[in-house]
Amino acid sequence: MAPKTLPVRTRTATTLGHAVASLSRRLGRGNGSVIGGRVLLAVDRHALGTLAEGHRAALVSGTNGKTTTTRLLSAALSSAGPIVTNLRGANMPAGLAAALGEGEPGALAVLEVDEAWLPAVAADVHPEVVLLLNLSRDQLDRNNEVRSLSTSWRRAIEDLPDATIVANADDPLTAYAAGSARRVTWVAAGQPWTADASGCPSCGGRILFASDGGWACDRCDLRRPIADVVLDGTTLVIAGQRLPLLLGLPGRANRANAAMAVAAASAFGVDPGVAVAALATTTDVDGRYRSLVLDGVPVRLLLAKNPAGWLEVLDIIGDNDGPVVVGINARIADGKDPSWLWDVPFEHLRGRFVVAAGERSHDLAVRLHYADVEHDREPDLRRAIAVAERRRPADGRVDVVANYTSFMALTASIADA
């Protein structure tokens, strides 16, 4: 009897997967596998779609919270079978191809996707579920007009008639994008930062925000949709259940990320109670929120890369009155324009000692001066922690908040130590 042959696309996907794995072994994990993905896409621009064949997929996109929500959704879906996901922010097509190529065939795919790349990736991957978290200014030299991103998302979703869209009802930009979908699960996840959603993405009118969280355009009929899933403090209301969110991650933003993850897991058929229980196992995400002793100093590591993210981090570090180290770079992955620093309410740090670090520590020090925050400047992040240590209470810690490349460099130095 002749051996059973696999369908052509399945055989092609398996061959591509073997190619990624081989390149990863040769080049090393992490960046090596991403390079492998780049090679594959250079050889075959349809490789991502081929590798996605046979995977039920969820795409997670937004300006803030992508990596954490992806990790939480992976945990929530763990009871449904093996998971393939991309790690350490490799959220463009090369990173996605690498993840799928190295993953188990047929595994559920939970993929973090850069917000500008979401339309192209969705067209290739044909996801079953898409999570739309939020949109705000980030990397100002690359993604400077968030309403145009909202419009591109809306057009992409129009081309996904069979997908379930899980969208943050409290963000007008994601609500507009999801409004073109046939199936939407609206999540009242909250959106404290509203400065980037003042203009209506539908008609250009003004979005008016109410004190109760509602919002509406003053010119057209775009308004906050009725939520299917509600985050009520530390309780998640979903499918008629009130489930306490007992997370290992701090802050309101992570409860919002968890709400989105549970809603998406439910769309895959996972019981919300099972999903919520699974989330408690996640205590850090690629080093974010991690507490450790570094060079003899108790520290907590946090990531904040734009004004919206900083608003959430200020909420988290409000539980501590110790010194703060802030690391700011302005490389390609961060966005080369650091003018967003002037939109961060650093005035909340008055009364605490802050050390400005990173390649743009001068810019940050000027901002802290005008915020009337006591500060020092030390560009090297590890040495900045030592400066902050001099002002640490005996029973306290140093909060270290860094933007993307500054944070990655710090965590890499810790791993190499």
pLDDT digits (tens, 9 = 90+) for 315-362: 999 988 899 999 999 998 898 999 999 999 999 999 999 999 999 999
State whether 324 and 372 are in the same domain.
yes
Give the total number of structural domains in the chain: 2
The per-residue pLDDT for 39 is 84
Torsion angle of C-alpha atoms 358, 360, 364, 366, degrees rounded to 10: 130
pLDDT of residue 4: 39
Looking at residue 14, its pLDDT comes to 54
- The boundaries of the domain holding residue 174 are 9-279
The answer to whether 365 and 356 are in contact (CB under 8 A) is yes
Residue 377 within any structural domain of the chain: yes
Choose one of 279, 300, 330: the last residue of a domain: 279
On whether residue 160 sits in a domain, the answer given is yes
> Which domain-ending residue is among 279, 312, 338?
279
The model scores a pTM over 0.85: yes
Residue 285, domain member (yes or no): no
Residues 26-46 have pLDDT tens digits of 444 444 467 778 888 888 889
Query: Could you identify the residue written with the tokens 């696309």?
Result: 9
Q: Which of 58, 65, 60, 59 is nearest to 249 (CA)?
A: 65
271 lies in the same domain as 142: yes
Q: Lay out the sheet containing 57-61: strands in order across.
A: 83-85, 108-112, 57-61, 129-132, 164-168, 183-188, 229-232, 235-238, 241-244
Domain boundary at 248, 279, 310, which?
A: 279
Q: Tell me what pLDDT residue 13 has.
A: 53
Q: Are residues 310 and 268 in the same domain?
A: no
Q: What is the CATH number of the domain that holds 350?
A: 3.90.190.20
Examine the domain organization and report whether 396 and 314 are in the same domain.
yes
Residues 269 and 351 in one domain: no
Task: Taking each helix axis as running N to C, give the angle between helix 252-267 and helix 307-317, from 0 to 180 degrees, rounded to the nearest 10.
Answer: 110
| Matching residue, tokens 């996801």 | 127
252 & 297 share domain: no
pLDDT more than 90, % of the chain: 79
Tokens of 67: 């990596």
Same domain (yes/no): 234, 116: yes
pLDDT value at position 182? 95
Whether residue 2 lies inside any domain: the answer is no
The CATH number given to whatever domain includes residue 33 is 3.40.1190.10
286 part of a folded domain? no
- Degrees to nearest 5, angle at CA 413 with 412 and 417: 120
Same domain as 338, residue 266: no
Per-residue pLDDT, 42: 87
- Taking CA atoms, 178 is separated from 9, 121, 172, 224, in Å, by 31, 17, 10, 12
- CA dihedral of residues 287, 288, 289, 292 (deg, nearest 10): 30
**4: in domain:** no
User: Cα(222)–Cα(163) distance, rounded to whole angstroms?
Assistant: 22
Same domain flag for 332 and 375? yes
Domain identity same for 378 and 274: no
For the four alpha carbons of 338, 342, 343 and 345, in that order, the dihedral sign comes to positive
With a cut of 50, list the residues of the chain below it in pLDDT. 1-11, 25-32
Confirm whether 284 is domain-assigned: no
DSSP three-state, residue 218: coil
**Tens digits of residue pLDDT in 204-257:** 999 999 988 899 999 999 999 999 999 999 999 999 999 999 999 999 999 999
Determine how many CB atoms are found less than 10 A away from the CB of residue 314.
19
Q: Indicate if 329 and 351 belong to the same structural domain.
A: yes
User: How many CB atoms lie under 10 A from the CB of residue 195?
Assistant: 11
Q: Are 14 and 6 in contact (CB under 8 A)?
A: yes
CA distance 338 to 134: 21
| CB proximity list for 216: less than 8 A, separation 6 or greater | 207, 208, 222, 223, 224
Same domain, yes or no: 81 and 179: yes
Phi-psi region of 88 (alpha: psi -120 to 50; beta: other; left: phi over 0): left
Which residue has 């919206």 as its token pair? 308
Residue 195: inside a domain, yes or no?
yes
Q: What is the pLDDT of residue 25?
A: 47
